[in-house]
């Protein structure tokens, strides 16, 4: 992960600030930085989203391809995650430096989406045991400004909301061989229901309190963090502790409660912005990367 070096006095200042609920940029312990969300930025994907959370910039593209279902779940489609830490984000990611972080994030995403209720995988099935939709979710880290997991999960949810999977019909021949027919209308597609897609909330322990949405400087002062994934209804789908410090079971419980609260507000804010963008329709001025 990208890290900054801080002097002891600076770290002390940050820690004392968090104790008094006034962080360096004036936020409270439960406040997020201003986020910018835009979907449909990459034209040759089934769905895409770009999220800017302070200095963290994430681009997610979803491609729907046809594949064979997994053996143990023959009537469901599935999601594949791949995370690329581009060297643009920080010089530490040069060459193969970003691979470790990329695999860690991808594994976390697999865990978060492992719960059955997150995405309706049965709707991705075309022919049981033969054909199904596989959603390849590619995450690209453009800039590292702290709080990667939250931004990535917001971007993944927005990209899945934006994904349009073409409608297919299965035709049976007289010999019994099945043919798949794609509908001619490019706008005839199915959308995914992302109501139960979880978002990750990272709670970093700084001193005796915990904060959400830590900047790079705050991450340098925190020894332990808890990553929890929360759905919009407040249900936890996974939990992971990172960092070399230790967490008291009491504080884990408090962090979980705070995470659930913050997660619910996060979902409400994200859904509102996605609906707003949707309602603008084709009249929306696309900003993209050159705006």
Partner 1 sequence: MAAISMRLPVPRKAVGLSAPRGGEKHLVAPGDTITTDTGYMRGHGTYVEEEKLIASVAGAVERVNKLVCVRALKTRYNGEVGDIVVGRITEVQQKRWKVETNSRLDSVLLLSSMNLPGGELRRRSAEDELAMRDYLQEGDLISAEVQSVFSDGAVSLHTRSLKYGKLGQGVLVQVSPSLVKRQKTHFHDLPCGASVILGNNGFIWIYPTPEQKDEEAGGFTTNLEPVPLSDREVISRLRNCIVALVTQNLMLFDTSILYCYEASLPHQIKDILKPEVMEEIVLETRQRLLDLEG
Q: Say how far apart CA 83 and CA 157 lie, in whole Å.
A: 15
Residue 283 has φ and ψ, to the nearest 5°, of -80, -5
Q: Say how far apart CA 106 and CA 126 lie, in whole Å.
A: 26
What is the H or E stretch that residue 166 is in?
strand 164-166
Number of shown-chain residues binding partner 1 (CB under 8 A) = 44
291 forms part of the interface with partner 1 (CB under 8 A):
yes
Q: What is the pattern of x (binds partner 1, CB under 8 A) and - over residues 128-167?
A: ----------------------------------------
54 or 69: CB nearest partner 1: 54
Stated length of the chain? 291
By the 10 Å C-beta count (0-12 exposed, 13-18 middle, 19+ buried), 206 is classed as buried
135 or 209: CB nearest partner 1: 209
Q: What is the pattern of x (binds partner 1, CB under 8 A) and - over residues 17-36?
A: x-xx-xxxxxxx-xxxxxxx
Residues 183-242 within binding reach of partner 1 (CB under 8 A): 212
90 or 124: CB nearest partner 1: 90
Tokens matching residue 19: 């104790």
Q: Do residues 148 and 1 lie in contact, with contact meaning Cβ atoms separated by under 8 Å? A: yes
272 forms part of the interface with partner 1 (CB under 8 A):
yes
Q: Do residues 58 and 50 lie in contact, with contact meaning Cβ atoms separated by under 8 Å? A: yes
26 or 281: CB nearest partner 1: 26
38 forms part of the interface with partner 1 (CB under 8 A):
yes
Among 13, 78, 82, 136, binds partner 1 (CB under 8 A): 13
Residues 50-109 within binding reach of partner 1 (CB under 8 A): 52
Q: Say how far apart CA 241 and CA 198 lie, in whole Å.
A: 17
Q: Say how far apart CA 65 and CA 133 lie, in whole Å.
A: 6
Q: Which residues bind partner 1 (CB under 8 A)?
A: 5-10, 12-13, 16-17, 19-20, 22-28, 30-38, 52, 212, 261-262, 265-266, 269-270, 272-273, 276-277, 284-285, 287, 291
């Amino acid at each position: 992960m990208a890290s900054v070096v801080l002097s002891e006095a600076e770290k002390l200042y940050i820690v004392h600030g968090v104790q008094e609920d006034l962080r360096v940029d004036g936020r409270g312990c439960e406040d997020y930085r201003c986020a910018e969300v835009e979907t449909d930025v990459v034209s040759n994907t089934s769905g895409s989203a770009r999220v800017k959370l302070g200095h963290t910039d994430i681009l997610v593209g979803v491609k729907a391809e046809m594949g064979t279902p997994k053996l143990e779940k023959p009537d469901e489609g599935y999601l594949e995650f791949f995370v690329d830490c581009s060297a643009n984000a920080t010089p530490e990611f040069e060459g193969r430096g970003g691979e470790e972080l990329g695999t860690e994030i991808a594994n976390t995403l697999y865990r978060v989406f492992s719960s059955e209720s997150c995405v309706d995988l049965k709707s991705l099935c075309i022919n049981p045991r033969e054909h199904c939709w596989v959603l390849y979710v590619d995450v690209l880290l453009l800039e590292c400004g702290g709080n990667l997991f939250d931004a990535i999960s917001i971007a993944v949810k927005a990209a899945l909301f934006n994904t349009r999977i073409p409608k297919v019909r299965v035709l049976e021949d007289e010999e019994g061989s099945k043919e798949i027919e794609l509908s001619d209308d490019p706008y005839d597609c199915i959308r995914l229901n992302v109501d139960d897609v979880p978002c990750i909330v990272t709670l970093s322990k700084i001193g005796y309190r915990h904060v959400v949405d830590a900047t790079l400087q705050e991450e340098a002062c925190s020894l332990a963090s808890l990553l929890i994934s929360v759905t919009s209804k407040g249900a936890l789908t996974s939990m992971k502790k990172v960092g070399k410090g230790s967490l008291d079971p009491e504080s884990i419980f408090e962090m979980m409660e705070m995470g659930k609260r913050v997660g619910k507000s996060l979902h409400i804010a994200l859904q509102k912005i996605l609906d707003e963008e949707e309602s603008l329709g084709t009249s929306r001025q696309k900003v993209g990367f050159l705006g």
